[in-house]
Amino acid sequence: MSLLHILDLLSTFTFALVGARVAADKGLDYGGIAFVAAIASVSGGTLRNIFLGIRPIWIIDPWIISSILAAVVLTLVFRRVTHIGKSLLIMDTFGLAVATMSGVQLAYEMDTTWFAAILLGVITAVTGGLLRDVLCQVEPVLLHRDTIGTSSLVGAVTFVALLQLNIVGNVAAILGGAVVVITRIISIQFDLHLPKFRGGH
């Protein structure tokens, strides 16, 4: 397995698990939990691949579907633990970093422009969480707190910048992912957010 493939599997499992737990917390039935887990885990990568003109990985890779099923089964087996706590927040942050690096690395390898690679990295990372929240009828985290988009953007920019400095791709991915995690942890720890628009009256 290549690093890119491992990253895709890890982010798929993580996002599916978080998605399944959010859906379970909202009282969805088994089918709803599985559907939200699937959407949360593969929609970002699918959108990225569509933009790049290649087939979504879940169509040709059974391991992706297996990762989703494993996350759903884990959620149903341990269904009493459905509260979204620190452990899931940590997993979601890890998934965000992995998905960002997976997206930006694949886009860069496809000879896209540097800004397109950065944008596709962010799209890969945040799309699933956004759709997850919409389907579960909760206020999308992406749009109002936790600087998810900002963390992903900073990490993607770091990856591209390191490649421009002739840093090896795998090393750039690890460092870029670390930047995503550190940025989000700092934003949560110190309650940092982007400024919100305050309309005048």
User: What pLDDT, in 10s, does the model give residues 128-168?
Assistant: 999 999 999 987 766 555 588 899 999 999 999 999 999 99
What integer is the mean pLDDT of 8-30?
89
CA distance 39 to 91: 17
The residue with tokens 């949360």 is: 40
Inform me whether the pLDDT recorded for 3 exceeds 90: no
* Model confidence pTM above 0.85: yes
CA distance 27 to 34: 13
CA distance 172 to 188: 24
Contact 108, 163 (CB under 8 A): yes
pLDDT by residue (tens digit) across 177-191?
999 999 998 888 887
- What Rg, from alpha-carbon coordinates, does the chain have? 16
- Position 116 scores a pLDDT of 96
- Position 54 scores a pLDDT of 93
pLDDT by residue (tens digit) across 34-79?
999 999 999 999 999 999 999 988 898 899 999 999 999 998 888 6
- Position 162 scores a pLDDT of 96
What integer is the mean pLDDT of 13-20?
92
- Position 138 scores a pLDDT of 85
pLDDT by residue (tens digit) across 80-104?
554 556 777 788 888 899 999 989 9
- Position 175 scores a pLDDT of 96
DSSP 8-state class, residue 56: -
Residue 73's alpha-carbon distances to 16, 31, 66, 90, in angstroms, are 11, 12, 10, 20
Q: What band does 200 get if pLDDT is binned at 50, 70 and 90?
A: low
Q: Where exactly are the structural domains of the chain? A: 3-189
- Position 121 scores a pLDDT of 95
